[in-house]
Amino acid sequence: MKKRALICGVGGQDGGFLAQLLLRKGYEVLGTSRDIQISRFSNLEALGIRGDVQLHSMAVNDFRSVLHVIHKTQPDEIYNLTGQSSVSLSFEQPVETLESIATGTINLLEAIRFLERPIHFYNAGSSECFGDTHGVPADENTPFRPRSPYAVSKAAAFWGVANYREAYGMFCCSGILFNHESIFRPERFVTRKITSAAARIAQGSKERLVLGNLEVYRDWGWAPEYVEAMWLMLQQEVPDDFVIATGHTYSLLEFVDEAFLACGLNWRDHVESSAQFCRPTDIKVGAANPARAREKLGWVATSGMKDVVRMMVQASGVEIKNPQ
């Protein structure tokens, strides 16, 4: 019998790559979106797998909708990748962010409990929950100090998962993922904004790239590798939470420099900083210690920041000028 996996939020970056991974592993893959009649699923199309994924409409903030889909699909594993995904946008839409992330997660957990099925549940956590650790690499025991509505919502969802695991003995866990990128990021994400602009400028555009604070530091990895860690978490005998990251931190300025170097350009000729793109509160340094994932899951990131930049630039149609 094939395992059945339900991916909530299958139309997003991680949902597409996870669906591709699970199909390769022989799963029957089902995916949800709020309204499958109007969702484009362009990532599934680009990966050539849309016809292989059974799609269902589900509003994660509506318990009846969640219960109906889980009862109908009878999955063995559920991956919760849904919810508002932009930190910047969460300052403009805090209520939608909280409902789609925190309430949605509780609805999924409660539906699993109500149906009394031995479903393994994965929840997409976020490094944003840690806030600013002042350069000290965060691990699974680092306290949360969220600094955005998005991070507050993710922290609430994380503790909801922990509570259901402890109170009801459910197999549910959270992956605390640091930044992970790909060409499927929309341009509201700064990494895609940078690599796409650098590619356009290399192809003749006269635009200026305007960014916020260039002196923030992040741990950037490659999204297709991170979905492997999600799957590995649900294959363990005992559920646990894991920090997923490369373990290496770079400034946004270094990311910008690398993107323009890959295009044979000097970033100073094309980039400027503006307070308009700075968040009300932000994290200065996001640093990670993914030792538990290495020791218990056998998972290690193989693509670092420079690899990520080159792959994103190349996918934008530019020949890399300074290959490693």
* Active-site amino acid positions: 126, 128, 150
CA atoms within 13 A on the CB side of 205: 12
Give the Cα separation of 255 and 213 in Å (integer).
12
Spatial distance between the Cα atoms of 240 and 75, rounded to a whole number of angstroms? 20
User: Given the structure tokens 């889980």, which residue do they identify?
Assistant: 70
The alpha-carbon radius of gyration of the chain (Å, integer) is 19
Residue type, 179: N
Report the half-sphere exposure of 125 (CA within 13 A, side-chain side): 32
**Dmax over Cα atoms in the chain, in whole Å?**
60
Closest-CA residue to 180 (of 122, 135, 127): 127
CA distance 234 to 211: 38
Q: What is the rounded CA–CA span in Å between residue 48 and residue 71? A: 28
For the beta carbon of residue 227, count every other beta carbon within 10 angstroms.
Answer: 26
272 in helix, strand or coil?
A: strand
Strand partners, 44: none
Chain centroid offset of residue 122 CA? 13
Evaluate whether 293 touches 299 at the Cβ level (below 8 Å). Answer: yes
Residues 159, 179: Cα–Cα separation, whole Å: 21
Residue by residue, DSSP assigns 189-224 as: SHHHHHHHHHHHHHTT----EEES-S--EE--EEHH
